[in-house]
């Protein structure tokens, strides 16, 4: 049964591959999409006649054309494997993966993350267990894979705004809190007191240093340097969090539709009815 499925899939891939080769598929610039697919019909010196997916034919400069990768590279996990590594192919691959809720993609040594602006069910304890102790090529791209490899290497060795940096840092800490607090051979994924304190420190820091902006409802308006301390066996034994470059001006002035730091609104929401009636407007009016 599995054998026949593999044959069927290979036939489909073979047909797509042949169709791609016959049409000489390329990418050309598009004002709306950035790049759009086209097939080469005729080449005359520096000018190339191409046909778009809607049947329209246009002439473009040869320098504006970027080669398209074969269908077998659709949603590839590591873009370093692409035959044609160009801007159009990279953006197309990231877009394809993004629309499939695959927000993590490798590019050689780097991990590219596209902010989904929604919660995805990819950070559970079950997912953590799936990545624990696995090599990078054995599991799909994920921040947990990067974190686990860094953790294992540490044990073996001697010593863009709104992109999701803060959220991914929290996922790194979450992963390490589980992996570095469980004894070898045990499947206990409940973090200890130190790990709980570390995870709970983030919401407190964010209350005083995060705010709503045009692009992000929970934007970090300060920098954090987080240092995790491990003992010789790899257990988490301490942590330091240093903060810097707090955007103090936000306390007294914000851009339209933006807000001050979260803590002010928490205080307003927690005020007693008497105080709220005497000197405070409804919380819904703040930041509008």
Residue 162 among known ligand-binding residues: yes
Dig out the tokens for 46 from the structure.
């520096």
Residue 46 among known ligand-binding residues: no
Residue 161 among known ligand-binding residues: yes
Residue 286 makes CB contacts below 8 A (sequence gap 6+) with: 259, 264, 265, 268
Residue 285 among known ligand-binding residues: no
Helix, strand and coil in the chain, % to nearest 5: 45, 20, 35
For 40, the 3-state DSSP assignment is: strand
For 163, the 3-state DSSP assignment is: coil
Residue 159 among known ligand-binding residues: yes
Report how far residue 270's alpha carbon sits from residue 4's, in angstroms, rounded to the nearest whole number. 64
Residue 260: name the closest of 229, 235, 283, 236 by CA: 283
Residue 165 among known ligand-binding residues: yes
Residue 144 among known ligand-binding residues: no
Residues comprising the binding site?
A: 159-166
Residues comprising the binding site for ATP?
A: 159-166
């Amino acid at each position: 049964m599995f054998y026949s499925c593999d044959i069927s899939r290979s036939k489909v891939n073979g047909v797509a591959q042949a169709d791609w080769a016959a049409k000489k598929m390329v990418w050309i610039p598009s004002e709306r999409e950035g790049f759009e697919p086209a097939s080469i019909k005729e080449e005359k010196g520096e000018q190339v006649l191409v046909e778009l997916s809607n049947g329209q034919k246009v002439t473009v400069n040869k320098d504006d054309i970027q080669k398209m990768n074969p269908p077998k590279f659709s949603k590839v996990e590591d873009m370093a494997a692409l035959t044609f590594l160009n801007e159009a192919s990279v953006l197309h691959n990231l877009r394809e993966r993004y629309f499939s809720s695959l927000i993590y993609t490798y590019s050689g040594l780097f991990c590219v993350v596209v902010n989904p602006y929604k919660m995805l069910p990819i950070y559970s304890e079950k997912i953590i267990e799936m990545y624990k102790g696995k090599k990078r090529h054995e599991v799909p791209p994920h921040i947990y894979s990067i974190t686990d490899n860094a953790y294992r290497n540490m044990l073996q060795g001697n010593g863009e705004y709104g992109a999701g940096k803060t959220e991914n840092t929290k996922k790194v800490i979450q992963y390490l809190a589980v992996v570095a607090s469980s004894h070898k051979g045990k499947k206990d994924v409940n973090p200890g007191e130190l790990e709980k304190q570390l995870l709970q420190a983030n919401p407190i820091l964010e209350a005083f240093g995060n705010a709503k902006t045009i692009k992000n409802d929970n934007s970090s308006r300060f920098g954090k340097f987080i240092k995790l301390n491990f003992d010789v066996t790899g257990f988490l034994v301490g942590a330091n969090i240093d903060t810097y470059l707090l955007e103090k001006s936000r306390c007294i002035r914000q851009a339209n539709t933006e807000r001050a730091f979260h803590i002010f609104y928490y205080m307003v929401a927690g005020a007693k009815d008497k105080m709220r009636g005497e000197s405070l407007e409804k919380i819904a009016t703040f930041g509008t």
